[in-house]
Amino acid sequence: MPDAARGEDFSAKLPRREMEGERDPSSRSENGGECFMCQAHFQKAVASGPPSRNSVEIWRFPDISGGEELLDTEEKRRLDAYRSPTARRLFLSGRAGVRLVAARYCGLAPGSFRVRCDERGKPAFIGQPDLHFNLSHSGDVALAAFSGAPVGLDIECRGRSRDFAAIARRFFLPEEAEAVLRSGENREDVFLKIWTAKEAIVKLSGKGLAGGLALARTTPDGQGFLGDQAVWLRHFLSDGYHGTAASFLPFEVKGWFDL
């Protein structure tokens, strides 16, 4: 991982329970990952080095004035193609934001970071093999997860009028759909917890929804799998949305930061 100016540990500012979340004692398995649920409390970041392979930091991006100058030619083309002002703003915030965060970690100019997308559209830094990120947005919120290992992130806003039972029957595995159908008044929260977990697993894998959703599964106690491969999950709640971060390695969320 690139050298960076070292500052105080972000995690030292967070109570232990808020940093790691609360684990259901039944969520440990010899074959599967572990599941944590926590409340995300975003704070202004200070200088620090990049996260390790067993840690994740989650950043929330504002509107970034002048962010266009940080984008490459292809990203500018994609930005210009958006018809929706909200979609345009979120794309710009995400692509400029990941460069600004990487610059904090690595002590380099934001414009020096290049981003490429693989054949399935997953973005990654070029020439930074030990700094991984994943973007997600919902409503007017844009977040990114950073880690020293591959990471997946998905967020979904609450309060949308949707037929959660019908969506679960169509896209979830039978045991996942059953959990939604029997959840009663908590149906939206149960649905969003499973949905964000499955999509975070798919985004971690880089397979895309079309090829990966059927392979991504969760268990009743919240463990994650991609096929037979264990995935570690961290569920979180903040400001009216659900989110899940995913990794193939055991990890802790070391902090929640506003850019």
In the chain, pLDDT over 90 holds for what percent of residues? 69
Q: Is the pLDDT at 113 greater than 80, yes or no?
A: yes
pLDDT in tens, 11-36: 232 233 333 344 433 334 444 555 56
Does a structural domain hold residue 26?
no
**Domain total in the chain:** 1
Alpha carbons 90 and 78: distance in angstroms, whole number: 12
Q: What is the overall mean pLDDT for the chain?
A: 85
Assess if residue 4 is contained within a domain.
no
Which amino acid is residue 166, in one-letter code?
Answer: A
**Which are the contacts of 241, defined by CB distance < 8 A and separation ≥ 6?**
138, 139, 141, 155, 156, 157, 158
> Which pLDDT score, from 0 to 100, does residue 70 have?
97
State the residue range of the domain holding 248: 32-258
> Does residue 9 belong to any structural domain of this protein?
no
* Residue 80 resides in a domain: yes
pLDDT for 49 beyond 50: yes
Q: Identify whether 252 is part of a domain.
A: yes
In a domain, 22, yes or no: no
- Of all residues in the chain, what percent carry a pLDDT higher than 70? 84
Average pLDDT over residues 57-64: 95
Global pTM reads 0.84
Average pLDDT rounded to a whole number, residues 206-228: 84
Instruction: With respect to residue 2, please indicate whether it lies within any of the assigned structural domains.
Output: no
- pLDDT of 7 over the 70 cut: no
Q: How far apart are CA 203 and CA 257, in angstroms?
A: 21
Lowest mean pLDDT among 118-127, 210-219, 244-253: 210-219
In-domain check, residue 53? yes
pLDDT above 70 for 47: no
Strand order of the β-sheet with 141-147 is 43-44, 252-258, 55-60, 141-147, 132-138
**Residue 160: CATH number of its domain:** 3.90.470.20
**Residue 214's pLDDT band (boundaries 50, 70, 90)?**
confident
